Amino acid sequence: MDALAGLKVLDLTSHIAAPYCTKLLADLGARVIKVERPGGDSSRRLGPFLGDIPGPERSATFQFLNTNKESLGLDLATTDGREVALRLAKSCDLVVVGLAPAQAASLGLTYEDLRARTEAPVLEITNFGSSGPYRDYKLSDTVLFAMGGEMYSHGTLDRAPLKLGGTAALLQSGAMGAVAAMGAVHARELHGVGQRVELSLFATQINSIDRRSAAILAFRFSGRVQQRPVAATSGIVGGIYPTADGYVEVTASFGNYWQRFVEMVDDDALRDPKWLDPATALDPAAKEEADGIVYPWMLSRTKHEVWAEARRAHAMVAPLFTASDIVQDPVFRERGLWLDVEHQALGTFPMLGRPYVLEKTPWRLRQPAPTLGQHTDALLAEAGYGADEIAALRRSAVAA
Amino acid sequence: MSANLPLEGVRICDFTAVWAGQSATMYLADMGAECIKVENPFIWNPMTRAASPRINAAMASVLPPWIAGHPNGDPGPRPWTNSPAFIQVLRNKKSFTVDSRRPEGLAIVKSLIRISDIVAENLAFGTLEKLGLDDDAIRRERPDAVILHMPAFGRSGAYVEGRGYGAHIDSVSGSTLLRGYADTAPGDNVQIFAGDFWGGVHGAFAVMAALRHRRLTGEGQVIELAQVESTAQMFPQAALDAAWNGRDAVSVGNRSIEGFVPNGAFRCHGTDRWIAITCRTDAEWVALITAMGRPAWALRAELETATGRAAAESEIEERLEEWTASHDLYSLFHQLQAAGVTAGPVMTAQDAVEDPQLRQSGAWTSLLATADYPETEFGAPPYRFENSDVGIRTPPALFGEHNEYVYLDLLGLSDDEYQRLEADGHIATAFDPDVVARA
């Protein structure tokens, strides 16, 4: 059984952030009806592509973000297309809208428009909110992290502030949307309230627990602004060290972490009590002496060998994995992080599997990401359209 | 009128620590769950209530603000009640103390589990088990409990004995290698704890899904969220490029993996002011160069497409920064957005607290002064529910603030029993001085 069995969601979102919200719902069993614009979701054009061959069904971004969803090709800019969406909304338990406020208004798909046709909760995911001076401003992953996130203090002082890898900020904000969606679902099922829930991507980042919300409260408390450091150093021992084949991250500076680190390296010179003297931490010569022990130790081992020693000593040390490491890692594979997708057009390919293990209602892949318009006919019929009407909608390019 | 809280009637017995776990239960508490934090006066849980129980003004001044920016730079006698890094994850929660390592303490914990719906933890693997609170023991007290485990590397397989904080989770999940400058060694990468944010959000979501199943079927379950496996999904493009095409993504600095050129942070006039700019379409490029006054270098036909711009990306970045460097950040931000270019300031904490959009959209909630911090504003949950009171309803829980509520009201102990447990040190509103000295 699926945790979100019986939950029907109308998904008027596109690109990366909000589709990740509905992916989380779909992957735990919700029926997610993804409305795709003519030509398909813009994420179908984002790489990387399977076999490096571009194509709307071959995008890794799209395949990842849309597992377990159903695709309805629909032109919302037409009167008939809008009507299809509103009819579907009536039968859904949740509507997730990812339209810009001006776009929702011009399409006639505002909260009020939807509320007139459905009692379901409506989650609106916008860049900056439905009002305010930035209402109509645009976002990218980088602009989102720059404004909302803690980009200002990420990187080094002499260079530009740095974003996170990939499209991390968009995906983080989308995940926050899934929490909001579940709040709306619980409130509906528990109290019978269908309501408007608004989530701005900007606000999710301002609240992020990656250092951002702490830096903001610290400023309010102390007046200190978190700067980028001059260099990524961290005490006598700490930070990122090179190994024979890569890198490891080391925390050894406080609590009993130093002791565990010393046990890991197992060099008597590090057992000298002088290392525990706070004054030593400020002595460049001591840092040089420690480096003289730690660097050769690290460089004579692979990152996996270092990690094995660290686990033995419970030291706070772990390797920097590449994407290939994540793909090939035997422990991740054995535990089930990866699975194979059987796709009707593409054959078999690997896919990231569950982000969590739910004992009784497991994450599962019921179907791969849909081909464009794969479920159009079935969904139109479900919305009450007869065969002739469906044919007419297709002829007029309202549906595809 | 009912507050229509989404998780009304749900109680959490909360053993979480640090950020990922404590933020997971914070999101649930925001939604209305009664979250009861189990604290022990004889154990200092690192990185859970403050950087150190003994942090003083001098130490705080040499540590980074995010971890040590206590009120007016002075942590005072109770740093665990005014740490900027940790009090926010204590909002909407309750705190009670018990030494769960002693039999009578364990019995108290078990009686709390008996009336809880969720047990949440992200402690080092085996910590709860050593206390005698493995999954079976929890379910003996509460057969339909939803149990959330958030281990760093998993509860099975070769990595179970691995230990880590956010930095190590970012490392193993691939985040650290993907977020440096393109031209410097990974050793220069600065820490940021993207995986803590990610893990907390996913933990809360998974619990909310399991609670729905439980409400419909009566069945609880165990959730295992291995933080590295979850956080690896923050980089699906890199993971799938490796899995599908055998290519290992490298850090691209501030460039876009979505094919947007230019994309980055560019210096503005003033001290350390930067604007992020993305041309998401060719039309945005035209709008950008129009805003720049159509300089000759930008008018080359090959720059009209993203592919053409990608071939000249370094040159575009240099030229663009020559232009932005003479402009005021906020003027340029509004000018570019009005012209249809995706752009925004790299906001300091000060920029954020002064931002008109955040203020107008209710991003902050006033927090009354306590003995340990002055009146201030606090980040509110990032969503606005029209008919549910999903917001900051109670301030960050003080250490042991809800002892009487938990022991007397919830667990129904007598005043005599309460006084005995208090005399034995279970019930306290401060950490034991020896713990403070040793930690």
Residue recorded with tokens 């007869």 = A386
The burial class, CB within 10 Å (0-12 / 13-18 / 19+), for A328 is middle
pLDDT single digits (tens) B85-101: 999 999 999 999 999 99
Write the CA distances from B121 to A159, B16, B37, integer angstroms: 39, 4, 11
Inter-chain residue contact B344 with A143, CB threshold 8 Å = yes
Cα Rg of chain B, angstroms: 25
Give the per-residue pLDDT at A231: 82
Inter-chain residue contact A179 with B27, CB threshold 8 Å = yes
d(CA B60, CA B368): 24
Torsion sign, CA atoms A44, A48, A51, A54: positive
Q: What is the ipTM of this complex?
A: 0.98
Do residues B399 and B40 make contact, with C-beta atoms less than 8 angstroms apart?
A: no
Q: In chain A, which residues have their Cβ closer than 8 Å to the Cβ of B17?
A: none
What average pLDDT is seen over chain B? 96
Give the per-residue pLDDT at A235: 78
d(CA A253, CA B44): 16
pLDDT single digits (tens) B374-419: 999 999 999 999 999 999 999 999 999 999 999 999 999 999 999 9
* Three-state secondary-structure class, residue A143: helix
Inter-chain residue contact A221 with B373, CB threshold 8 Å = yes
Inter-chain residue contact A357 with B236, CB threshold 8 Å = no
Residue recorded with tokens 């008919």 = B387
The burial class, CB within 10 Å (0-12 / 13-18 / 19+), for A116 is exposed
Say whether pLDDT at B2 is over 70. Answer: no
Strands B93-97, B34-39: pairing kind: parallel
Closest chain A residue by Cα to residue B357: A132
Closest CA to B23 of A249, A251, A179: A179
Could you list the pLDDT tens digit for every one of the 400 residues in chain A?
Answer: 999 999 999 999 999 999 999 999 999 999 999 999 999 999 999 999 999 999 999 999 999 999 999 999 999 999 999 999 999 999 999 999 999 999 999 999 999 999 999 999 999 999 999 999 999 999 999 999 999 999 999 999 999 999 999 999 999 999 999 999 999 999 999 999 999 999 999 999 999 999 999 999 999 999 999 999 988 776 789 999 999 999 999 999 876 899 999 999 999 999 999 998 878 888 889 999 999 999 999 999 999 999 999 999 999 999 999 999 999 999 999 999 999 999 999 999 999 999 999 999 999 999 999 999 999 999 999 999 999 999 999 999 999 9
d(CA A181, CA A25): 9
Torsion sign, CA atoms A59, A64, A65, A71: positive
- Please, which residues 84-143 of chain B have a Cβ atom closer than 8 Å to chain A? 84-89, 124
Cα Rg of chain A, angstroms: 26
Residue A76's region, left for phi above 0, alpha for psi from -120 to 50, else beta, is alpha
Say whether pLDDT at B316 is over 50. Answer: yes
Q: Does residue B52 sit at the A interface (CB-CB below 8 Å)?
A: yes
The burial class, CB within 10 Å (0-12 / 13-18 / 19+), for B312 is middle
Inter-chain residue contact A222 with B84, CB threshold 8 Å = yes
Closest chain A residue by Cα to residue B205: A179
Phi, psi angle pair for B35, to nearest 5°: -100, 115
- Per-residue HEC secondary structure of chain B comes to CCCCCCCCCCEEEECCCCCHHHHHHHHHHHCCCEEEEEECCCCCCCCCCCCCCCCCHHHHHHCCHHHHCCHHHCCCCCHHHCCCCCHHHHCCEEEEECCCCCHHHHHHHHHHHHCCCEEEECCCCCHHHHHCCCHHHHHHHCCCCEEEECCCCCCCCCCCCCCCCHHHHHHHCCHHHHCCCCCCCHHHCCCCCHHHHHHHHHHHHHHHHHHHHHHHHCCCEEEECCHHHHHHHHCHHHHHHHHHHCCCCCCCCCCCCCCCCCEEEEECCCCCCEEEEECCCHHHHHHHHHHCCCCHHHHCHHHHCHHHHHHCHHHHHHHHHHHHCCCCHHHHHHHHHHCCCEEEECCCHHHHHHCHHHHHCCCEEEECCCCCCCCEEEECCCEEECCCCCCCCCCCCCCCCCHHHHHHHHCCCCHHHHHHHHHCCCCCCCCCHHHHHHC
Q: In chain B, which residues have their Cβ closer than 8 Å to the Cβ of A235?
A: none
d(CA A267, CA A279): 21
Inter-chain residue contact B383 with A176, CB threshold 8 Å = yes
Give the closest of A164, A355, A358 to B229, CB-based: A355
The burial class, CB within 10 Å (0-12 / 13-18 / 19+), for A261 is buried
Residues comprising chain A, all counted: 400
pLDDT single digits (tens) B103-112: 999 999 999 9
Residue B394's region, left for phi above 0, alpha for psi from -120 to 50, else beta, is beta
Distance from CA of A252 to the nearest CA of B (A): 11
pLDDT single digits (tens) B121-157: 999 999 999 999 999 999 999 999 999 999 999 999 9
How many CB pairs (< 8 A) connect A and B?
536
Give the per-residue pLDDT at B131: 95
d(CA A354, CA A360): 14
Give the closest of A220, A226, A254 to B66, CB-based: A226
Give the per-residue pLDDT at A232: 75
Q: Which of B149, B196, B205 is the best substitution to test chain A (most A C-beta atoms within 10 A)?
A: B205
Inter-chain residue contact B197 with A210, CB threshold 8 Å = yes
Say whether pLDDT at B1 is over 50. Answer: no
Q: Does residue B68 sit at the A interface (CB-CB below 8 Å)?
A: yes
d(CA B122, CA A356): 14
